[in-house]
Amino acid sequence: MIVMKFGGSSVESAAAIERVASIVRSRVAMKPVVVVSAMGKTTNRLLAIANDAVHGRRDQALEQLQELRSYHVEESTPLVRDEDRQELDEVIDSHFQELGELVRGLAILGELTPRSVDAISSFGERLSSHIVTFAFRRCGMKAVHVDSRKVIKTDNRHTHANPIFPETYNRLSEEIPTFTEDGVVVMGGFIGSTMDLVPTTLGRGGSDFSASIVGAGIGADEIQIWTDVDGMLTCDPTLLDGCHRVKTISFAEAAELAYFGAKVLHPATVVPAVEKNIPVLILNSRRPDTEGTRIVADTVHCENVVKSIACKRKITVVNIHSTRMLMTHGFLKKIFEVFERYETPVDMVATSEVSVSLTIDDTERLQSIADELKRFSEVSVEENQAIVCLVGDNIRFTPGVAARVFSALERVNIRMISQGASKLNLSCVLAQADLKEAATRLHDEFFSELDPAVFD
């Protein structure tokens, strides 16, 4: 069995879904389980509708909901067999009737809770997975729809739910293989439910995570992440041209890249795959013949020092200084207890005796965090920063890497620099305005020559 995940851009239209159907049909013998994201930007549109509803724009929200319904009807109509058309109409009608009731309820309450966010944003994947199932049937495949909420069980941490792995794996192993014997299973990514059947989501980008969970639960031979790029590249292609495809990379390297901004893969994806030693492939649904990137457990030998450069935008640096903590212990503990209370992850840290600088990318609770930190320290904040992260197994064994980085960035002001505890990465913080120049110079420095066994 294999798991094939298709992102929103891969299922954004009738033509895109037909491409997906062709790709899956060519792999039917491998007993695929297909995990799909919402169509196009549906999740963003649903959240915008919810926001309008709670801010007194009920009629506008309902009008936008009708437009979203029309979009799903228009794109799904060419994909369904005549004998399935009534069933598809009933599926779309029931989902949008439920959505309409939810939007009206939000307009009355005037409040959007995390539980409500999960409820409304779950509809994108619920709709797309049904539509893709009908499309597969039209293409001659025996397709079965499985509601992810019945098999992906989570805690009640709405909008960022954590899977209950033992229960989820049990349900997946009991239910999914029975369907793959005769056909293709289609599921919605990103969504699950509590043990009390309350809808939850795994966080934005969670469809990759869903695919990895499903793969681990059914003991898949491989997990395929189908997106709109040829695989993991040597740098962010939105920053510079001339990036090269990475053919093979280790789980550890891929995890570092994903966490530090490589959008082709959700950071949590590799966790279940690593635990079960299941290879992950990054493939392009628009160019299905491209080999993509293969992520494996073992270290991948490479003549280059660096495998790839990840870039993370919209970073905020928080500087914390307290002379009162000189020659005392507990300074770091007090700082990180504050971030823990407000559930705000920290990316990078640089410390001295009485000063700590750290970076965050989630500023939703920053004001409250700063207010607490000011009780025992001075706090300053620098916005519009970015992280450039060099990743590669060879960094830990190669002297002079930092010197090459500083030389390449001699005209760029570096705010922080850190070599991670994993020893796989070397990261710099700089102004976001300098990101393109920095990425270009580092790419020129470390990828002027390529190991043909690893790079295209």
Query: Could you read off the pLDDT of 389-408 as tens digits, one per residue?
Result: 999 999 988 999 999 999 99
The phi, psi pair for 377, rounded to 5°, reads: -160, 170
- pLDDT category, 422, cuts 50, 70, 90? low
- pLDDT over threshold 70, residue 324: no
- pLDDT over threshold 70, residue 421: no
CA gap 143, 379 in Å, rounded = 57
- Least confident interval from 31-45, 128-142, 261-275: 261-275
Domains by residue range for the chain, with CATH: 2-228 (3.40.1160.10), 308-446 (3.30.2130.10)
CA gap 102, 80 in Å, rounded = 28
Cβ(23)–Cβ(285) below 8 Å: yes
Q: How many CB atoms lie within 10 A of CB 380?
A: 11
Taken in order 258, 262, 266, 272, the sign of the CA dihedral is negative
- Residue 450 one-letter amino acid: L
Q: Is 366 helix (H, G, I), strand (E, B) or coil?
A: helix
Q: Residues 6 or more apart from 57 whose CB is under 8 A from it?
A: none
pLDDT of the residue at 326: 54
Report the helix count and the strand count for the chain, using DSSP H and E: 15, 16
Q: How many CB atoms lie within 10 A of CB 297?
A: 14
Q: What is the mean pLDDT of residues 335-357?
A: 90
Say which residue the tokens 């999960």 belong to.
Answer: 118
- pLDDT over threshold 80, residue 387: yes
Q: What is the mean pLDDT of residues 371-380?
A: 93
**Burial profile 347-375: b = 16 or more Cβ within 10 angstroms, e = fewer:** bbebeeebbbbbbbbeeeebeebbebbee
Say which residue the tokens 């009920």 belong to.
Answer: 58
- pLDDT category, 260, cuts 50, 70, 90? confident
Question: Is the pTM for the entire model greater than 0.85?
Answer: yes
- pLDDT over threshold 60, residue 327: no
Considering just the CA atoms, what is the radius of gyration of the chain in Å? Answer: 23
- pLDDT over threshold 90, residue 341: yes
pLDDT of the residue at 445: 96
pLDDT of the residue at 298: 86
Query: Could you read off the pLDDT of 236-247 as tens digits, one per residue?
Result: 988 998 899 999
- To the nearest whole percent, how much of the chain has pLDDT over 90? 80
- Least confident interval from 240-244, 264-268, 285-289, 353-357: 264-268
Strand partners, 54: none
Pairing of strands 425-431, 414-419: antiparallel
- pLDDT over threshold 70, residue 310: yes
pLDDT of the residue at 73: 97
pLDDT of the residue at 328: 62
| Closest to 415 in 3D by CA, of 322, 323, 295, 315 | 315
Pairing of strands 425-431, 378-391: antiparallel
Q: Which residue has the higher pLDDT, 4 or 252?
A: 4
pLDDT of the residue at 302: 94
Pairing of strands 293-296, 280-284: antiparallel
pLDDT of the residue at 340: 95
- pLDDT category, 249, cuts 50, 70, 90? very high
Q: What is the mean pLDDT of residues 263-274?
A: 80
Q: What is the mean pLDDT of residues 148-167?
A: 96
Cβ(104)–Cβ(58) below 8 Å: yes
The runs of H, that is alpha helices, within 85-185 are 85-109, 114-121, 123-138, 148-151, 165-180
Query: Could you read off the pLDDT of 62-105 as tens digits, one per residue?
Result: 999 999 999 999 999 999 999 999 999 999 999 999 999 999 99
- pLDDT over threshold 60, residue 335: yes
